[in-house]
Structures are given as C-alpha cells and as structure tokens.
Amino acid sequence: MRDTTIVGIDVGRSAVKAFAYAEGEKFPLVFPSLVAPAIAALDEESAHQLEPETVTIKSGRFYTGEAARLYGGAEHASGLTSDWVHNDDYEILLRSAIKRFGAMGVPGLDSAYLVVGTPSDLFAAERTSLEKRTADICGLETRSLSQPLGVYLSHVLSEIGTPVIDRHRDENGRRTSYAVVEVGEFDTGFMIVKEGVHQVGRDDIGPGISEAVRNLQIALRARKHRLSLVECNEALRTRQIKVFGQYEDITNDVLTAIAPVINKIVSKATMVIGNDAKSIDGILLAGGGAYATYHPLRDIWNHVVILENPRMSVAEGYLRYAKSVMLKRMRQHSGNEMGTNNAEAKS
C-alpha cells in the first residue's frame, strides 16, 4: 500500500486538470477538453509526436487537447453535457489523461487509486454511475467527489493527506465551517460545510466564465477580429490577441465582457452564502475564474480566501484525499500486523 500510485483527475467542461503521485514525486497535468476525430498523419514524425495525445476507443481514434485543436479543427471545448458520464468524450478525455501520465513516466498506473470529479449540479445524480464507468474504463479502484468538495479538501488537508489542525478547528476547539465558490468556465459550484459536515442540500450552481467568452467573441468580431471560442477563452485569460504578428492589449474588452457575468456570480454567491457568511470561518475561492471574482466578493465578505493555484485546487484536493485514504489503510494494515504478531507471541 505504501507504494500505491494515486491519481486525481478533474475532468472539467473546458479543461482536464490532474495530478499523479508516485514514489515520492508529483506530476501535474493540464490540457483542454477538446476532442476531434484523428486523421492520417502527414508523416511518421508527426504521428510519433501526436501519439501521446491520441486515444483509441470502440468508435475510433481521436485527438485530444491541443492536437484536437491544431490537427482536428476543434473550435470549442467538449462542454460535457448533462449525460457526460455516458458519452464518448468523457472516456476519451479520461483515457487521454492516463495515457499522458504514462508518457510522463508515472509508474504503477495499472494499479493506481483514482479519484475523479463531477460538476456539483451533476454529483448527486451521477456519482455512482461515474465511479462505475470510470472503473470499467480504467480498470482501477475509483472514488468520485464533487468539484467544490475537492476545493475544500485542498484547504483542510496537508500535502501528505493529514488534517491541517488550525483549519479543522478554531482557537476554542470548535469544528470549522467554510463556504466554497468554485468558478469554472461553464458553471460556478457552491458548497457549504458547517462544523465539518457537508450541507448536501445547500449545494448549488451558477453561471461560469464561458458567458464572458461569448461576450468577448462578439465584441472582437465587431472590430473585425474573428476568433474561435477556444481563442477567445485564451484571450480572456491573457487579455491580449495576436494581430498581424503583434500582440494587442484587449484589457478593456475583457473587463467589459466579464462584468455582467461577475455580477451574476456575485449575486448567486450572496443568495447561497448570505445568511451563513458571518458564522463561517472562511469563503474558499477557486477555479479558473477565481481571480476575476476575488475583489467583487472580497468587497462583500472580508474573509474570502483565494486558494493557491486556484485552477488546480480541485485536482489538488482529490490528490490529498487519495493520500489520506492511503494513510488510513497503512495504519489499518500496521494495526492488523501488530495484532497478528501479539497473537503469535501469546501462542
């Protein structure tokens, strides 16, 4: 059990974010949730370069990530519809993540412990299906958690999977309470944990940053810049576009495009968290849109905390959870061995 490889994969609607941990080394992975049918490579070198990003399933061969964009012409992320657990895109992206880890040299993937996630609005309905299908696809022991729960776990568990004491209990020894706001591309997940208990009935969802991407695309087209949604998504993060070989600053366009979306997210957060804001210990902010929403939320609540590397917080939480599971199993195994040794000594 000590040498078990662990993997945490957040199959998001716009990108796959993941970590693997094996033999004391941590491996990060991020690639766009882009899928496109594979075409015959132009030459042997191209085929070799594309192989780590190419996946074969029953319905055919597919490019993923940047290969899907550059060679397959994919112009928008998979989006992963409400039945995403059962469609081909999920299998393709999941297999691609495992394959990419293999290409990175991660050992023990054939017997790894895997944690995967779902958007919060799909978690209750799809958790069991997700675990079963993922296990069927990968042949691995699998656990599924909601994306906001991953954020929470990345805050309250240490890098080795042990509880961070001052984040579990306050100065008087009382169990801590948190709200989570996970701002993704297609949606924003909300979750509340009161005194260590996940308030499942309070889970909610709001708009994501993708609405701002569409707003930006319309604004840029009005200025004769015809960019795909994938390109606009990148421009929203970098606040620049390349025009005739030169980068052009589009900060004003980005701020205009994102403002109405931020207002909606803040309004939803106020509705979900409002009554509990004063009694909780912190509001944990994560996801790809965390930086854009930090100051508007901080203006309302001064105990908003933006997590380190917020885009990867969900996958980080999954990894730390998996480590905690392995630690628990090691302790149980050690306890069983001690019991056996004591029994043998008495006999």
Distance between CA atoms of 145 and 115, rounded to whole angstroms? 7
* Beta bridge partners of residue 10, listed in sequence order: 17
Q: Greatest CA span in the chain, whole angstroms?
A: 86
In the DSSP assignment, the letter for residue 303 is T
Res. 233 pLDDT band, cuts 50 70 90:
confident
Query: What does 274-342 look like in DSSP terms, one character per residue?
Result: GGGTTTSSEEEEESTTHHHHHHHHHTT-TTEEEPSSGGGHHHHHHHHHHHHHHHHHHHHHHHHHHHHHH
Given this model, what pLDDT does residue 77 score?
62
Distance between CA atoms of 255 and 270, rounded to whole angstroms? 22
**Phi, psi for residue 43 in degrees, rounded to 5:** -150, 170
Given this model, what pLDDT does residue 336 score?
66
For residues 86-109, average pLDDT? 95
Which pLDDT tens digit goes with each residue over 176-207?
A: 999 999 998 888 999 999 999 998 888 888 98
**Phi, psi for residue 290 in degrees, rounded to 5:** -65, -45
Distance between CA atoms of 302 and 290, rounded to whole angstroms? 15
Which pLDDT tens digit goes with each residue over 286-296?
A: 998 898 889 88
Distance between CA atoms of 97 and 35, rounded to whole angstroms? 13
Q: To the nearest whole number, what is the mean pLDDT of the chain?
A: 89
Given this model, what pLDDT does residue 247 score?
95
Query: Does residue 97 surpass a pLDDT of 80?
Result: yes
Given this model, what pLDDT does residue 343 score?
52
290 to 95, 272, 345: CA distances (angstroms): 28, 17, 58
* SS3 (DSSP) at 227: coil
Query: Does residue 121 surpass a pLDDT of 90?
Result: no
Given this model, what pLDDT does residue 165 score?
92
Per the listing, tokens 């795909």 go with 228
Given this model, what pLDDT does residue 41 score?
63
* SS3 (DSSP) at 247: strand
Which pLDDT tens digit goes with each residue over 249-291?
A: 999 999 999 899 999 999 999 999 988 999 999 999 999 889 8
Of the listed ranges 21-25, 56-60, 341-345, the one predicted with least confidence:
341-345
Distance between CA atoms of 31 and 147, rounded to whole angstroms? 17
Given this model, what pLDDT does residue 187 score?
85
Higher-pLDDT residue of 341, 74:
74
For residues 212-218, average pLDDT? 92
Determine contact, residues 281/302, Cβ cutoff 8 Å. Answer: no
Structure tokens at 197: 């208990």
Determine contact, residues 288/314, Cβ cutoff 8 Å. Answer: no
Res. 242 pLDDT band, cuts 50 70 90:
very high
- What is the number of other CB atoms lying within 10 angstroms of the CB of residue 221? 12
Query: Does residue 119 surpass a pLDDT of 80?
Result: no
Given this model, what pLDDT does residue 346 score?
56
| Nearest to 192, CA basis, from 121, 115, 276 | 276
- How far does CA 57 lie from the centroid of its chain? 24
Given this model, what pLDDT does residue 342 score?
58
Q: For the whole model, what pTM was predicted?
A: 0.87
Buried b (16+ CB within 10 A) or exposed e, 125-140: ebbeebbebbbebbeb
In the DSSP assignment, the letter for residue 312 is G
Domains of the chain: 6-164+309-337 (3.30.420.40)
Distance between CA atoms of 173 and 189, rounded to whole angstroms? 29
Given this model, what pLDDT does residue 337 score?
61
For residues 72-79, average pLDDT? 66
Which pLDDT tens digit goes with each residue over 131-156?
A: 999 999 999 999 999 899 999 999 99
Given this model, what pLDDT does residue 118 score?
74
Higher-pLDDT residue of 215, 83:
215
Query: Does residue 72 surpass a pLDDT of 90?
Result: no
In the DSSP assignment, the letter for residue 58 is T
Determine contact, residues 202/208, Cβ cutoff 8 Å. Answer: no
For residues 95-114, average pLDDT? 97
Phi-psi region of 79 (alpha: psi -120 to 50; beta: other; left: phi over 0): left
Phi-psi region of 216 (alpha: psi -120 to 50; beta: other; left: phi over 0): alpha
Of the listed ranges 79-93, 133-147, 194-208, 330-344, the one predicted with least confidence:
330-344
Given this model, what pLDDT does residue 1 score?
46
Structure tokens at 245: 């070989």
